[in-house]
Amino acid sequence: MATDQFGTTQAQAIAALRRHRMLIIVITVLAAAAGLGFGVLTSNTYTASAAVLVNPLEGNPYSPQGRGDDLLNLETEAQLVKTDGVAQLARTRMRSTSYPGELRARVSVQVPPNTQVLNIAFTAGDPRRARDGAQAFAESYLEYRRQRTQSLLDGKLKKLADSSHRVELSLQAATRKAQVSSGATRSFWETRIQAYTNQLGVIEEQSNDVRSTPINPGQVITPAVLPSGPGVKQPLTFGGVGLLAGLALAVAIVLIRQRTERRLYSAEEVEQLGVPVLSTLQRPRSGESQLPLVDLPKGGAGDAYRKLRAAVVATAPKAPVTLLVTSATPNRSATLVSANLAVALAFAGSATILVDAATCDVDPAPLFRLRQAKGLSDSLLHGVDPAELLVHVDSQLRLLPRGGQAREAAHRFSGPRMREAIKVLRRRAGFLVVNADSVSDADAQALCVMADAVLLIITPGVTTRDELEQAYAEAQRANTMVIGTVLDTPPPKKGLRGRKDSTGQHPLPPEEDRADAAEPADGAASEAQGRTAQPRRKAIAALAPAEHDGPAPRSQPTPTRSSQEVLGEADISGSWGDTSVAGGSSPRGETSSQRAAQPGNHITPAKAIRGAQSTGKRARQSAPAGHADATLLGGEERMAEGSTSEPAG
């Protein structure tokens, strides 16, 4: 069995997107609706802009003392536009009641490359407010720069004034001391007086330079004007953004889930693990036919079981074959697949025995209109010969029920009585189909040892890769071949008008059946059968071979067109409507060839139904005690098996 490759292949990703397309659509639509709603609730916005030429100015990032590459400092100047100080000045100019933080959030600044220009934009819900805001922030920014420079110059002047005051005090003190001194002392103080006088001159000169410094922060070269229309079409824009965001989110969720998902959904995923898929089946809805090969032989379900039959015959070992049908998923049923596979094999003319070895599943006996009877549990617990417990469903199909103590008997699946029962039954059938619980069950694992091949049932969306690998490993441990898997898909959703076959057309009964529908049944018999049983009886009648007047070999019946259609043109060795074991006799001791040779025994489908009913009544009266009842597959009447002979496997 191939190992699971790491990662998600492209095919798996596409399959996951298709499988979860409804989830993707829902998330995308919801996101688009949310964006559209947000855009509708939010009013249209208007954006106005003003261009400002910035001059180098002391006390600012862009200053005259900077180098030629200090144009990069314009980015810092752009950030100054959105400072709280500029917002306070703009708020005053706009006479706005908004908080400075709200105004700053509506401002955006761009710096064109290699320029000294700032483009200041302001967004608002009203065009006039947008224009006033852009103009106010442009002027407030220039005012803020001027104030910063003025504050710097004022600081310098204050320092110079303080220095001048200190020098003047020193000069006054030196002058007083020079007046009262003489000689060398007087000369010293006169020198100091001269130095203080020079300092005052320098300070005065510096003060004059500071006072004469030009303060030109720049100018608004392009004033803000009224915007011609809204800058953003909110509903459509937000709706489109929501659509794209929702689509991306949905795809991401699906792909992430696919990477972590261990469940199997398609035949391609199963075959990538190295296990072939023999057929894809579809479970019927409640109230629909559980045996589609009988009721709708040309429908899609019937085609699927015919395909499964062909695959099993092609891949299984040489007959006689013991085929274990089990589910790879814990607590999942294999009964319906086992029963229909046994029916399909019997249709092809193979002597088939269905052994019900399940313990916690639905009993398949009601599918064939059978009552609860003794079965496998009686053979395992009490040593009853399993051949005596076989119920003859048809000439090519027999059933070994589970019996009344299935749970207790399951403990003996690995014992000698079970091995002997399998050996006895293999001599009487070409195919021994064993219906078992999930292979995860220990008792079902014991049956793997006695089987020649195992058919695993996978439920898409439920069965995991680990469960399939474990089931495969259990079969390998028992040295039993896994011939393949079957996908048991859930029934289609309700609301479709009628059922369709694999070609997409509504299935129609064969021509003989449609002709027979116009022929009324005999009085009381027609009343007793009821309307609901007609499709199943017609299928049985269509499967009965057309017998002709005069002697005709039993081994070479002439099939009608109806039987070829229903049987899928398979070469069968026995009649599905024949109630005797192959090579046996009727309840009256007559073989089918003898009955066919009698004059006037040309049997129509409608007569076959009525004849089967009367034969069943006589058989129940004359059947030996203890002999198991049999039924025509799909019929309503019980029929006693007239012979206890078993066809050789």
Average pLDDT over residues 103-131: 89
Average pLDDT rounded to a whole number, residues 433-461: 83
CA proximity to 81, closest of 151, 140, 149: 140
Q: 346, 293 in Cβ contact below 8 A?
A: no
| Alpha-carbon gap, residue 364 to 372, rounded angstroms | 10
Q: Where are the alpha helices (DSSP H) in 3-53?
A: 10-19, 21-41
The residue among 130 and 551 whose pLDDT is bigger is 130
For range 546-561, the mean pLDDT: 35
Mean pLDDT of 113-132: 88
The mean pLDDT value for 264-277 works out to 77
- pLDDT score of 646 more than 80: no
Q: What is residue 614's predicted lDDT score, i.e. its pLDDT?
A: 40
pLDDT average, residue stretch 307-329: 85
Structure tokens at 10: 């492209």
Give the pLDDT of residue 223: 92
Which range among 320-329, 387-396, 463-472, 585-594 shows the weakest confidence by mean pLDDT?
Answer: 585-594
User: Between the CA of residue 625 and those of 88, 119, 389, 416, what are the distances in Å?
Assistant: 110, 108, 13, 29
CB contact burial 294-315 (16+ within 10 A = b; e otherwise): bbbbbbbbbbbbbbbbbbbbee
**Mean per-residue pLDDT, 495-507:** 40
CB 326 within 8 A of CB 438: yes
User: What's the mean pLDDT when you consider all of the chain?
Assistant: 71
Per residue in 31-51, pLDDT (tens digit) is 888 887 877 666 677 889 999
pLDDT bucket at 137, cuts 50 / 70 / 90: very high
Least confident residue range of 61-70, 308-317, 463-472? 61-70
Q: Output 511 or 362, whichever has higher pLDDT.
A: 362
Return d(Cα 567, Cα 596) in angstroms, integer: 22
- The partner residues of 535 in beta bridges, in order of sequence, read none
Q: Looking at the predicted structure, is the pLDDT value of residue 164 above 70?
A: yes
Going by pLDDT thresholds of 50, 70 and 90, the confidence category of residue 11 is: low
Query: How would residue 134 be classed by pLDDT, with cut points 50, 70 and 90?
Result: very high
At residue 218, the 3 state secondary structure works out as strand
pLDDT at residue 575 in the model? 33
212 burial via Cβ count (<10 Å: 0-12, 13-18, 19+): exposed
Phi-psi region of 369 (alpha: psi -120 to 50; beta: other; left: phi over 0): left
Overall average pLDDT of the 417-437 stretch: 86
* The pLDDT of residue 119 is above 90: yes
Residue 566, pLDDT above cutoff 50: no
How far apart are the C-alpha atoms of 604 and 516, rounded to whole Å? 9
Is pTM beyond 0.75 here? no
Decide if 538 contacts 570 (C-beta within 8 A).
no
Q: What is the pLDDT of residue 50?
A: 93
Q: What is the pLDDT of residue 256?
A: 76
pLDDT band at residue 626 using 50, 70 and 90 as cut-offs: very low
Ranges 450-464, 486-500, 633-647: which has the least confidence: 633-647
pLDDT > 90 fraction of the chain, expressed in percent and rounded: 8
Give the contacts of 69 (CB within 8 A, at least 6 positions apart): none
Q: What is the mean pLDDT of residues 381-396?
A: 84
- Lowest average pLDDT, out of 126-140, 466-480, 482-496, goes to 482-496
**pLDDT of 578:** 35
Is residue 147 pLDDT above 70, yes or no?
yes
One-letter amino acid at 439 equals V
pLDDT for position 72: 62
Q: What is the mean pLDDT of residues 406-433?
A: 84
Alpha helices in 395-464 (DSSP H): 406-409, 416-426, 442-448
Q: Tell me what pLDDT residue 525 has.
A: 33
Report the percent of the chain where pLDDT is more than 70. Answer: 69
Helix 21-41 vs helix 10-19: crossing angle, to nearest 10 = 70
The confidence score (pLDDT) of residue 310 equals 87
Q: Inform me whether the pLDDT recorded for 28 exceeds 50.
A: yes
pLDDT in tens, 47-88: 899 999 988 777 667 666 655 455 567 788 888 899 999 999
**pLDDT reported for residue 131:** 92
Least confident of 11-20, 349-358, 461-470: 11-20
- Are 97 and 22 a contacting pair, CB within 8 Å? no
H-state helical runs in 397-478: 406-409, 416-426, 442-448, 465-477
pLDDT tens across 220-251, in order? Answer: 999 999 887 665 566 777 778 888 888 888 88
User: What is the rounded distance in angstroms from the CA atom of residue 23 to the CA atom of residue 254?
Assistant: 9
As a whole number, mean pLDDT of residues 351-357 equals 87
Is residue 505 scored above 60 in pLDDT?
Answer: no
- Would the pLDDT of 633 be above 70? no
> Residue 211: what residue type?
R
Q: Per-residue pLDDT for 179 more than 80?
A: yes
